[in-house]
Structure 1
Amino acid sequence: MAVPTTGSSIEHHPDLVEMRARYEKAGSTPTAQLVEGLSFLAGLYMAISPWVVGFNTSTSLAVSNLVVGLAFAVLAFGFGSAYERTHLLGWTAPLLGVWVIISQWVINGAPDTTSIVVNNVIAGGVAALCGLAVMGLAMGKKRKG
């Protein structure tokens, strides 16, 4: 039995078009652009922080910061370039920030020096706050729309 077609696709549905326009508007505000840019920079810093602070000899913690930082930067880049498609991933950003904060105590063999603790707490805190701000932008636009 053949499936009947109506000739129109879901891409042109009025609700979908309106929702995409709303998220595009939300992603193009100066506040959203600032949060996305800061998130991207925070992700890049988390990725390079083992070499900046000097704990690249701790392989497991350095790899964790590198992977989480790159993932965070890619996620932030997605927010900046395709907010309407990536805003639902916003809940992962604060979790990545929290992981950076606690990773130094969770990963076995990670050195527990003051510089590493301060670095990861500040970088993870900034990342978590940026993630919460991205989530707030998405939720705020849902309520107002």
Structure 2
Amino acid sequence: MENWTNARYCDVANLILGAFLFVSPWIFGFGGTTAAQNANIAGIVIAVLAIAALAAFAVWEEWLNLIVGLWTLVSPWVLGFHAETTAMTISVIVGAAVAVLAAIELWMMSHSPPRLTAGR
């Protein structure tokens, strides 16, 4: 990707968001609930995908980040923890941010595809 530094910023932001989502049940006191389990799993997946994208960019990582971000965004209603306002707010904000960052990276990729080099 020609504009690799911007993509790297998005990946670092996703890493931070994933780590924040992972620790949010302990910080905000909603541990031991469905919301906490969802935050832990989604946070780990987001962080691992961000680390993988930082190590070696691949389009599939951004598509997975988009899917996980959208899942995190809608999970309060799907899993039924929308009444827990703190957990729901964190899930919606982090999910929307991850999905937007993934969409931005996909957009950058489509407008500036990586240059192929001939290997010898």
Q: Same fold (TM over 0.5)?
A: yes
Q: CA deviation at 1:144?
A: 8.9
8 Å contact from structure 1 (residues 94, 131) kept in 2: yes
Structure 1 position 79, deviation (Å)? 1.1
The residue aligned with 2:22 is: 47
- Taking structure 2 as the reference length, what is the TM-score of the superposition? 0.83
1:76 pairs with 42, 50, 70, which one?
A: 50
Task: Name the count of aligned residue pairs.
Answer: 116
Indicate the residue corresponding to 2:98 in structure 1.
Answer: 127
Paired residue type of 1:100: T
Partners of 2:54 and 2:82 lie apart in 1 by 35
Does 1:38 find its partner at 2:13?
Answer: yes
Point out 4+ residue stretches in structure 1 off by more than 4 angstroms.
none
The answer on whether the counterparts of 1:50 and 1:62 sit within 8 Å (CA) in structure 2 is yes
1:54 corresponds to which letter in structure 2? G
Give the one of 27, 40, 62 matched to 1:66. 40
Larger Rg: 1
Does 2:57 align with 1:88?
no
Instruction: Give 5+ residue unaligned stretches, structure 1.
Output: 1-22
What amino acid does structure 2 have at the position aligned with 1:137?
Answer: M
In the alignment, structure 1 residue 137 sits paired with structure 2 residue 108: yes
Pairwise CA RMSD of aligned residues?
Answer: 2.2
The one-letter code sitting in structure 2 at the alignment partner of 1:87 is V
Relative to structure 1, is the Cα distance of residues 44 and 64 closer, same or farther in structure 2, using a 3 angstrom cutoff? same
Counterpart-to-counterpart distance in 2, 1:64 and 1:117: 11
Instruction: Tell me by how many angstroms 1:41 deviates.
Output: 0.5
Q: Deviations over 1:61-93 (max 9, x none)?
A: 21111111111111111111111xx22331111
Identity value in percent: 22
Question: Unmatched 5+ residue regions in structure 2?
Answer: none
Q: Which has the higher contact order (CA 8 A, sep 6+)?
A: 2
Distance in 2, matches of 1:45 and 1:121, equals 13
TM-score, with length taken from structure 1:
0.70
Post-superposition CA distance 1:37-67 (Å, at most 9, x none): 1011111111111112211131x22111111
